[in-house]
Copies of this chain bind each other. A is one copy, B any other.
Amino acid sequence: MKKREFLKYCSLLAGAMISGKSIAAIAEPVKTITPMKRKSTTMKLRFIPYELKLKHVFTLATSSRTTTPVVLTEIEYDGKKGFGEASMPPYLGESYDTATKFLSQVNLEQFKDPFLIEDIVAYLDGIQPGNYAAKASVDIALHDLVGKLIGKPWFRLWGLDPGKTPFTSFTIGIDTPEVVRQKVAEAEPYKILKVKLGLGNDREMIETIRSVSDKPICVDVNQGWKDRNYALEMANWLKENNVAFLEQPMPKTMIDDIAWLTENSPIPVVADEALQTIDDLLPMKGVYSAINIKLMKCGGMNAAYKMATLAREMGMKVMIGCMTETSCAISAAAQLSPLAHWADLDGNLLISNDCYEGVTVIDGRITLNERPGIGITEKIKMFRD
């Protein structure tokens, strides 16, 4: 218990490099004379807190902020390193504290090899309920590692066509008309704009964007509307304004109202807050017409792939979304994107201190690369050798 508390303290020191299993590394010098790398044949998990700096103040229906806390992870095995990330926007209930506490409990050394993904994911799920971002940070690092051991990116291992990635939307936050116009100009390379509504200035936001751009828009209300008649009236008005779909228009608890809206809306209604993990998926049928899958909600790539596949079999459309994240988690999500009808993978584009390079957006479209694993390289070395 004492050891765990000390670990927690260490992990909160910005930039400190710690091991989930041993604190010995912290006392070691950064450089050693031995040029040979010691190859570990057990999996070693390390993690480190990192604060993402947002280019713009980020305003949702319920909060606004200028930073996002993330925890970066690394799993080393047999001379290869896989990278992962937990992004923890405060409204989702995870934090440096909870993630560090969770990751300190993870013992990957008990698994013979990283290929046992199903067992490892089941083990993570069993440690503690919730903590989906923390779980995703291990799941992503594990997938990155396995892809590197195999020498293939995950979209290849899933048999997906890199030519079938969707356009990604670019989020225009709620702001003054002047700032909104400036952001729309900034979003020039993107083919679809995403707008957060639900703060009372719904029509004004859309009209401001429409005064400078006729690009398709997708709308995320983040549960902001409380009246189904207003929601349907808006859905009809949004359709006239070339809005492609409507995400989480009302509180997730208003199931009957949402099902009624979905039945009557001229544009698809997408579940976001209503859907956390794969266990929530089956009841979505008939209530929403599409789901928004996010690695940080569902626990990682393993669950996200299953959710996308299952939702498609259920006849629902699939959106792949994100939090504010580095190119690590964004590139991980992008591996799935050929399975998605829409992508909202702009989280890395909204920050100024991305420490990874990964998938890119070319002509508004997610563009995968052939790097193994999740397809990233380090821009800034976050974990020492």
Contacts and interface: CB of A to CB of B under 8 A. Distances in A.
A161 B310 contact: no
Contact of A156 (B115, B309, B313, B338): B115
Number of copies: 2
Nearest to A156: B115
A329 B339 CA distance: 28
Interface residues of A, number: 28
Given A310-B309, A313-B306, A159 B116 contact: yes
A313 B281 contact: yes
Contact of A157 (B119, B157, B302): B157
A314 interface: yes
Q: Is the interface of A mostly helix, strand, loop or mixed?
A: helix
A84 to B, nearest CB: 16
Contacts of A302: 159
Contact of A119 (B119, B156, B161, B306): B161
Contact of A118 (B160, B310, B313): B160
Interface in A143-175: 146, 150-152, 156-161, 164
A282 interface: yes
A116 B164 CA distance: 11
A117 interface: yes
Contacts of A313: 278-279, 281-282, 306, 310
Contacts of A160: 116, 118
A153 to B, nearest CB: 10
A282 B316 CA distance: 13
Contacts of A150: 150-152, 157
A233 B116 CA distance: 43
Contacts of A310: 309-310, 313
Nearest to A302: B159
Contact of A159 (B115, B156, B164, B278): B115
A338 B306 CA distance: 17
Nearest to A151: B150
B161 A116 contact: yes
Interface in A324-349: 338
Contacts of A146: 159
Interface in A281-303: 281-282, 302
A139 B276 CA distance: 33
A315 to B, nearest CB: 9
Given A150-B150, A281-B313, A282-B313, A118 B306 contact: no
Interface of A: 115-119, 121, 146, 150-152, 156-161, 164, 278-279, 281-282, 302, 306, 309-310, 313-314, 338
Closest 9 CB pairs of A and B: A117-B159, A115-B156, A118-B159, A119-B161, A116-B161, A310-B310, A306-B309, A118-B160, A150-B150
5 contacts: A115-B152, A115-B156, A150-B152, A281-B313, A306-B309
